Chains A and B, each alone.
Chain A
Amino acid sequence: MTTPLLSVSDLCVGFGRDPSKNEIVKGVSFDLAAGETLAIVGESGSGKSVTALSINRLVDFGGGRIIGGSIDFKRRDGSILDLAQAGEPVLEKIRGSEIGMIFQEPMTSLNPVLTIGTQIEESFRLHRGLTGRQATAAARDALDRVRIPDAARRLKYCPNQLSGGMLQRVMIATALACNPRLLIADEPTTALDVTVQAQIMALLGELKHETGMAMIFITHDIGLVAGIADKIMVMQAGEAVEQGQLDQVLDRPQHSYTRHLLSAVPHFESGRAARADFRREKAKPPALTVDGLTVRFKVSGGLLGRSPGSVHAVENVGFDLMPGETLAIVGESGSGKSTTARAILGLVRPTRGRFSAHGLTERAGSVADATDPATQMVFQNPYASLNPRLRIDSILAEPVIAAGGRITTETREKMKALLKRVGLPEDSLERYPHQFSGGQRQRLCIARALMLNPSVVVLDEAVSALDVSVQAKVLELLVDLQKEYGLAYLFVSHDMAVVERIAHRIAVLYAGQIVEIGDAASVLSNPQHSYTKRLISAVPSIDRRNQHFELDTRQVPSLVRPPGFEPPEPQWRDFGPDHRARAEA
């Protein structure tokens, strides 16, 4: 076996003034042959990103120091160089030309004030000495290579004019401009929608074959690597707990943590893992019925010009929700799922739509005008949904005060009970939000939502900002609470694996309209509408190994309609007792 392209042995990296006291990466070793792809899997805080950043020494700029071990890299001319000891001038030659890198947040990883063209040309200028028209031509070819349509025009665009998926393609084009021998991809698709993620993975797969480059792919989603990686390394708390060939690690995991990642963490099993613990009795009144919900935002046409129309964010959505039942609303960004949730909660003023909770309070406009305690909401970002300046006891007390109640010892007892119920210590009452982890904070939000014993809880992407294993525990908690209090959940999410774990019924939303709705197991195992099929096929899963994703670069359709536009009446086709899909033209 020829010497490996990259051989890392006993790498130690520390941060802060005294790095040895604050070690993040504790003695990691691995090899990478030319053209081979290594996936590094681990949760946040496991040191996987720091390991990646230390290979091309970008960690030095982030306040980190390599305090031990070596990184032997075979350069294009065959010489071996220990990157850990290399000086800055040499590193500047290697970065970009021999080691490329792409990052997690495409929206912020490109310089907002420079055009796409200039930023790509920079790589050519730095390493190939191309300038002027030659550089522009090279940049255009780089964009063609990542399948971006009409590349010439896009060169003059600024980053804020492109979508997340498109920007990530530009990042890839920039990184691969000088055909580096190694590409480091640090969670490149985490911030993207599942269908867009599928396209990026497909693109990376194809480029790997075309250029024969080696790749280090960092992710927290073990399902994602099945399609692309040759070898896997699992990291936990700064150490590489397991390492080996793809099939060997996935089928015969040795380390307990790897087994935990494979089993406990939700993986999409196309409907086989759907919940079956609920029977819908038609008799009881639904906890929540929504009928003809429409939300439109007028687009301002400038001072004099007539307005070009309005954005039809949500178009004639209707469903009902039984007590104790979970309805999941699934869709990608821009599908209107959050707007629907917010409209139900009265945070957004709907244009049309009738709501009722418990079949009693029949109201046009918004169901939960602010004072209805029956419907509560849990938000996506645990860090932003708790006021950083208030103590936990005043945070929990807020709903009671808002509903006109007073804080008595009885309410404090309730708070303590709820905290215990969601698995938090009683003394949390005196602490501040920044003293809790993401998962703990989301439990606090759930406790806050339950203070007024609601019947319906709307969860808007409630777990997507959490770490994988924490996600599993919170879902378990939600299910237990549902059974104990008979809560009805409206669960909004884009993550099919999570939806499969918690939903009884699923509604798929596309461009503001429900395209398919029905029992979870049948929708997932036997999707009818073309979009649902595309959505399910794009979900990565462990058992689909080295699968070839087909590429399509379709964009999310624009939702702007001319004024006075009314969509045609939907015709539905039924596929079973509780499963119907919109007829397609």
Chain B
Amino acid sequence: MSYLTRRLLTFPLVMLGVSILVFVTIRMVPGDAITAMLGTEAGLLTPAQRDALAGYFGIDQPILVQYWRWLAGVFQGDLGISVTYGRPVLGVILERFPLTLQLALMSMCVALLVGLPAGVFAATRNEKMSDLGVRIFAMIGQSTPNFVVGLLIIYALSAGFGILPVMGEFTPFFEDPLRNLGQMILPAITLGFAFAASVTRISRSAMLDVLSDDYVRTARSKGASKRSVIWRHALPNALIPVVTLSGVEFGYLLGGAVLVEQIYALPGLGRLVLDAILQRDYALVQGCVLFIAFNFMVVNLLVDLAYAALDPRIRLGEGG
């Protein structure tokens, strides 16, 4: 499995790259933790007071020393202390991650449940009006910014039906499933809708490719019915690009959907990072971005493994 080992080798390299990128860009942004905390009152500080605060926030050292000390910590799994939470960064992230994870999973389910059948349906009715109809329906999902969809849903539900998804605090699924679903189903649909549109398009074009392949003709020559050709022969092959797309998209969703979390007031990873940036909580920003990048790489690796599992040509090396 030299392919896998080569991929694992690049992991630390990319993570190092991400750590340097986040470390530098966050410090290039004007304003620091002091202005974030005190706002215009920071002007009242005497130089001695300012240095004391800089020490407290750990931003008084030269940048290289700060980076080295932080990196050494990362190797022991200590991502540093969050200034705004007064707690280790990793703990804060792991508290907020379940919501983003569940949102990502639910959005992917919505996407696959809606997108895949629609794509297969459109492919089998190629170029007829219903094919174009499904594609436009799917495309509308992909054409609207998700925060607009969110705003409209909230406005419609609260003004129209007087009901609203639960907001603010996150109740894990196992504690109170009904309340949890009440909070998560609408954001999942908001996110899942756009995701479903891309799944529809990918599965449609994949199915069209596969249906024109030789082995589908062979299956027909064996007397296989139209439906079994689609489900037993075409779909397993068409799934490969769909798996790749949903894998990459899932990787993105794990980074938290900043805008949707903002509108539905979901304390997820996306808002955590955004607030951390606005409050210049450097340790928290760096920790979050590393965590998100790590998840993204892991998901991509899993997608590659799934790719190999689905397609023996990859698993057994090229060609006979």
Contact = CB atoms under 8 A, between A and B. Distances in A.
Direct A/B contact, Cβ within 8 angstroms = yes
Interface of B: 1-2, 5-6, 213-215, 217-226, 232-233, 236-237, 310-313, 316, 318-320
Interface string A117-134: 000001100110000000
Contact of A160 (B219, B236, B320): B320
A302 B5 contact: yes
Nearest to A300: B2
Contact of A96 (B221, B232, B319): B221
Interface residues of A, number: 40
B316 A93 contact: no
Contacts, number: 96
A167 B215 CA distance: 12
Given A108-B215, A161-B320, A302-B2, A56 B233 contact: no
A112 B223 contact: no
B223 A103 contact: no
Contacts of B320: 107, 159-163, 167
B127 to A, nearest CB: 10
Given A123-B222, A302-B2, A302-B5, A103 B214 contact: yes
A61 interface: yes
30 contacts: A58-B220, A93-B223, A95-B221, A95-B222, A95-B223, A96-B222, A100-B221, A103-B214, A105-B214, A107-B320, A108-B213, A109-B214, A109-B215, A109-B218, A111-B237, A112-B215, A113-B237, A113-B311, A114-B236, A122-B222, A122-B224, A126-B222, A126-B223, A158-B313, A159-B320, A167-B320, A171-B218, A174-B218, A175-B221, A302-B1
Given A97-B223, A109-B214, A160-B320, A303 B312 contact: no
A171 B319 CA distance: 18
- Count chain A CB atoms within 10 A of each CB in B6, B218, B233 and give the residue with the most: B218
Given A88-B226, A162-B320, A302-B2, A112 B312 contact: yes
B220 A95 contact: yes
B217 A58 contact: yes
A103 B215 CA distance: 10
Overall SS of chain B's interface: helix
A114 B311 CA distance: 9
B244 to A, nearest CB: 15
Nearest to B223: A96
- Count chain B CB atoms within 10 A of each CB in A56, A88, A92, A100 and give the residue with the most: A92
A158 B314 CA distance: 11
Contacts of A163: 320
A94 interface: yes
Interface string A288-327: 0000000000001011000000000000000000000000
B215 A303 contact: no
Contacts of B215: 108-112
B233 A111 contact: yes
A89 to B, nearest CB: 8
